[in-house]
Amino acid sequence: MAEKKGSIAWLKAALYSRKDDVSINPDERTPLEAHSTNVPVSWNEGPRSPLPQITTLLSMASTKKGWSIATKFLVVSFAFFVLAAGAAGYMFFYGNNGISPQNIDVQIIMPSVIDGGKATTVQVLIVNRNNANLKLADLIINYPDGTRNAANANQPLTHERQSIGSISAGQTVQRTSQAIFYGQEGQAQKVSVQLEYSIEGSNAVFERDADVNFTVGSSPVSISVSSPTEAISDQQFAFDVTVQSNALAPVQDVVIQARYPFGFTVTGTSPQAQVGGTLWRLGEMKPGDSKVLHVTGTLNGQDGDTRVFYFLAGSDSDKTNTTLRVPFLSVPQTLTVRRPFIAAQLSVNGQTGKTISVPSGADIQGTITWTNNLPDPVTDVQLTLSLSGPTLNSSAVGAPTGFYQSSDSTIVWSKDQNEQLAAVPPGGTGTLPFHFGTLSSGAGGTLYSNPAISLNVTVQGVRQGQTNVPQNVTSADSAQVYVSSVVVLSAAASHFSGPFSNTGPMPPVPGQSTTYGITWTVTNTSNTIANGVVSATLPSYVTFVGAQSGSGITYDAGSRTVTWTMGDVKAGAGFTAASRVGAFQVSLLPSASQKGQAPALTNAANFSGQDRFAQVQVRATAVAPTTQLNSEAGYNANMGAVAQ
């Protein structure tokens, strides 16, 4: 039996055979398969239905040899996704319950120009052009800020919800509302609406939005503000608020309220405003009436800071209200804070600041340092220093480069006295010295309480190329010079009189003890002194005996110090009130080396305390008392020195 050759062996034999009649059976070839592809055959042919393509993919996934299981799974998943998305889209847009938001028309009907303060009707039309019903429909109307309820003008109206319920296919629904709009004349505002609804078989909530713009035609009253665009920090400035009636009928209970920015301080209003200068009740305003409100104040801030003032107009019949309840409109006014274009700083006795303390009855030295802060020159600069106060010694005021006008106690520096002030370049600076004196409180029988001297510097100059900004600095710097109180401490010794019974020989004898009473007296002029204390040490030959009960006088043996803790010393003590007096007793045991001398019974006494008004330490010293008792009755000159 001949061995049957395999396919490879047979193919090898056929290739290398010398015979020409070797033939290959065509039936043994692997047949080719025909596949149909669903692609356009011309440019005008549109895409075909995706279903045959998906069928082809599924067929290929099942018959194609060599595809992995992962590839087949991916193809099947993609096909399923396309089928699901197509079915969902068809059911939403073309199914029996399909709803398209584009088939819902929402239209807002209202005037394009609305006068402020008048009730206006807002009409909303809703048309359902879908094949299915809308369920649980609600209409939400959103109003601009400041809108009021037409039924109650005191009630703000920000939004309103109206329940509609079901809207059938093809049905038109109309809803209306009323509101009172307020705003500045010509201001653009907007009303927006939202239609919320559900569809059959779904818990989802869908929305359809619409809005409409309108313009405020006119307000019952209008406000215009006239003010500078810049304000010098801490310098007083003014602005005018003009209120105009635009209504065809009288407007009742007109109220204007100002909302000031941080750092602004009202110094005056005309007419007088209520609630800290912020509220004006103008009452009835007839058609065409106009009223002007004048406000002055100061604004504190850093250079370049922006501050916004708001002025509200409205109506309020309740005169107990401290704020405007029903505003017609709100008008902003913006100012920029600037530092003075010529800065001036005061210095008194080397001190700077708003409060400076100086001693009473002294000659005071001061300086004014000025600087041009502008990038441009300033011409015709003039500085004026005014001085005022009950303890100012006007006869001691002067300035080496300025002119002192005694009639109003002012010193003026100008280009007439100082050529440097004729034209000051950018950054130019200079120093102007001056001096003044203070009167001692109580001098001439007049006692001043909490005396102060006011110093105020004003600067004037010409700025070039500037409009609607201050041309003069009216208050560049100021200071209150507090004059401290004058405290006088005296110490006196006694033997024959006083609160103590004294013993011992007079004159004192070496080796024998003689007792004396020491009396400290404190007077105070103008300001209350807190925590007053008097102290003195005793010489080695003097012994502390005792003090009056309750006097506050104590003795420390270690330091040999007598201390009188006084507490507060009231202003006028020794003038309009009794002097403060404290006494204690000492014993003198003189030495033979002191014969013919009048030894001191204490060392010098010192007073210290805090001036509550001037906020400075006040000190006073008393000369040490000796055995010479010149003013005491019963004493003669031979009793003062230690016996020989």
Please check whether residue 370 lies inside any domain of the structure: yes
Task: Please give the Cα distance from 206 to 196 (Å, whole number).
Answer: 6
Please check whether residue 26 lies inside any domain of the structure: no
Please check whether residue 12 lies inside any domain of the structure: no
Q: What tokens were used for 293? A: 């409100």
Q: Which carries the bigger pLDDT value, residue 3 or residue 419?
A: 419
Do both 517 and 628 map to the same domain? yes
Please check whether residue 1 lies inside any domain of the structure: no
**CATH no. for residue 305?**
2.60.40.10
Phi, psi values for residue 278, rounded to 5°? -120, -10
pLDDT at site 47 = 47
Q: What tokens were used for 600? A: 């001191």
Q: List the one residue out of 106, 74, 229 whose CA is nearest residue 175.
A: 106
Task: Please give the Cα distance from 574 to 254 (Å, whole number).
Answer: 60
Do both 297 and 390 map to the same domain? no
pTM comes to 0.53
Q: What tokens were used for 503? A: 């013993």
Which of the listed residues 483, 517, 537 is the one where a domain comes to its end? 483
Instruction: Tell me the pLDDT band of 606, cut-offs 50, 70 and 90.
Output: very high
**CATH no. for residue 470?**
2.60.40.740
* Tens-digit pLDDT profile for residues 210-267: 999 998 877 788 889 998 888 888 788 899 999 988 777 788 888 999 999 999 999 9
Which of the listed residues 311, 338, 365 is the one where a domain comes to its end? 338
**CATH no. for residue 598?**
2.60.40.290
Please check whether residue 44 lies inside any domain of the structure: no
Using CA of residue 226, residue 228, residue 231, residue 236, what is the dihedral sign?
Answer: negative
Please check whether residue 18 lies inside any domain of the structure: no
| Local structure of 69: helix, strand or coil | helix
Task: Please give the Cα distance from 232 to 298 (Å, whole number).
Answer: 8
Region of residue 112 (left: phi > 0; alpha: psi -120 to 50; beta: else): alpha
Do both 627 and 497 map to the same domain? yes
Do both 357 and 478 map to the same domain? yes
Number of domains into which the chain is organized: 5
* Tens-digit pLDDT profile for residues 444-470: 667 888 899 999 998 888 776 555 555
Task: Give the domain extent around 62.
Answer: 49-89
Region of residue 19 (left: phi > 0; alpha: psi -120 to 50; beta: else): beta
Task: Please give the Cα distance from 499 to 493 (Å, whole number).
Answer: 12
Which of the listed residues 173, 188, 216 is the one where a domain comes to its end? 216
- What are the residues whose beta carbons fall under 8 Å from the beta carbon of 21, sequence distance 6 or more? none
Do both 333 and 426 map to the same domain? no
* Tens-digit pLDDT profile for residues 578-597: 999 999 999 999 999 999 99
Phi, psi values for residue 642, rounded to 5°? -65, 135
Do both 466 and 507 map to the same domain? no
Do both 477 and 548 map to the same domain? no
Do both 526 and 465 map to the same domain? no
* Tens-digit pLDDT profile for residues 202-226: 888 999 999 999 988 777 888 899 9
- HSE toward the beta carbon, residue 633, CA cutoff 13 A: 2
Do both 347 and 360 map to the same domain? yes
Do both 181 and 320 map to the same domain? no
Do the Cβ atoms of 535 and 564 come closer than 8 Å? yes
Do both 154 and 281 map to the same domain? no
Do the Cβ atoms of 293 and 243 come closer than 8 Å? yes
Please check whether residue 462 lies inside any domain of the structure: yes
Do both 577 and 450 map to the same domain? no
Arithmetic mean of pLDDT over the chain: 84
Q: What is the DSSP letter of 590?
A: -
